[in-house]
Amino acid sequence: MVRPEKGVIRPKILVRLFSGALGLLLSVLASCATVPPTGQSPAYPAGYLRPSSLWGRLNFDPSPRLKAALAKNESLKDVVSRAHTLWFSLNLEGLHPQSWRLIAQGDYPKALVGLVLDTKPHWVQEKSPVPQWYDQKAGLWVILPEDSLVAAASKPFTPELSQWSPVVFRQVPWQTVHGTGLYLEAEHPAELLFGAKGARLFPIEKLILRLQGGKNAWNGPVELRLKDARAAEGTLFLLKLWSASQRLTPNAKNPLMSSFSNLTWKVQGNLVIGEGLTIPYTVMEQLVNHLMAKKGTP
Residue 294 confidence (pLDDT) above 60: no
| pLDDT score of 94 | 58
pLDDT of residue 213: 85
pLDDT tens digits, residue range 128-161? 888 999 988 778 899 999 999 999 998 899 998 8
pTM confidence score: 0.77
Instruction: Please say whether the beta carbons of 228 and 270 come within 8 A.
Output: yes
Q: Using the predicted structure, report yes or no on whether residue 69 has a pLDDT greater than 80.
A: no
Query: Considering the chain, what percentage of its residues have pLDDT values greater than 70?
Result: 77
Mean of all residue pLDDT scores within the chain? 79
